Amino acid sequence: MSILIGSETKLVVCGLTGREGSFHGLSNRRYGTDLVAGVTPGKGGGDVDGVPIFDTVHEAVAETGANTSMVFVPARFAADSILEVADAGVELVVCITEGIPAHDMMRVYTHLRRGRTRLVGPNCPGVLSPGQANVGIIPAHFFSQGGVGLVSRSGTLTYQIGNELAGRGFGNSTIVGIGGDPIVGSSFIDVIALFEDDPDTKLIVMCGEIGGDEEERTADYVAEHVSKPVVAYIAGFTAPPGKTMGHAGAIVSGSSGTAQAKAEALEAQGVRVGRTPSEVAEVAAELSGAAA
């Protein structure tokens, strides 16, 4: 079993006719994802390697039954694209686009909370359920099916930790990159709650980073609501205060949001924190053996 995407996923890509959208959309199809449509206003009636193109998401959903969307459009259009997907009744939208203005994302976040469409991203690598479906840019060859649910704010660290876990013999139920922007559609808590309810996820790994307080809030949630073992990694132990490190959301002010503060909050609630990706895999192996 998996969360968010699987064998029942029917994908429509907003921006499939663009260079990046076609490259990754068709890559997802080669992996086995059911890519049923693309959307580019003004190019309806065409196709990309046999995938039909529609002018609107509503048309695409009506014709193909698409239930998942990937947004691969320029930042200035991305917020409206997400809202169009939601208005068409699509259950999940994965937004890869980075650089969307925070004000636009506030509007999107507020609107989506009133409905039933779930957003992953923006500025994220997407979602992968190994052996079933890939929606995004995650290099699937790093991962195999198994019992570890992996959720991360960082795309690159997702791949690195996934590789470390694979080296220890772990496979994954689903890998979710939630994105590193200040405003994203899904939080650690949102995804971990899904992993907790997934019978095939036996252990949860979360990869956080400096900035904000989401990891601290997640620590409290895990202590109250999660029965499965959780292992964490926090990127940025050597980050200088006041510096943005890669992601727009990764900024530290004083002692707030530091890697040390996050690690201490997680450990205080019983979550083991690895200081390196390889240590995360070591701790996962230890906890997996103890739970067996």
Active site residue 247: yes
Give the other-Cβ count within 10 Å of 42's Cβ.
8
Q: Which residues contact 100 (CB under 8 A, 6 or more apart)?
A: 75, 78, 79, 122, 123, 181
CB atoms closer than 10 angstroms to residue 76: 12
Lookup: tokens for 288: 């997996």
Q: Which residue has the tokens 């997640």?
A: 218
Which backbone phi and psi does 277 adopt, to 5 degrees?
-60, -40
Active-site residue, selected from the candidate residues 24, 111, 225, 247: 247
The whole-angstrom separation of Cα 291 and Cα 284 is 10
Parallel, antiparallel or unpaired: strands 203-209 and 230-235: parallel
Give the 3-state secondary structure of 165-231.
Answer: HHHCCCCEEEEEECCCCCCCCCCHHHHHHHHHHCCCCCEEEEEEECCCCHHHHHHHHHHHHCCCCEE
Instruction: Compute how many other C-beta atoms are within 10 angstroms of the C-beta atom of residue 58.
Output: 16
Q: CA angle, 225 as apex, 220 and 228 as ends, to 5°?
A: 105
What sign for the dihedral angle of Cα 214, 227, 151, 158?
A: positive
Residues labelled as active-site residues: 247
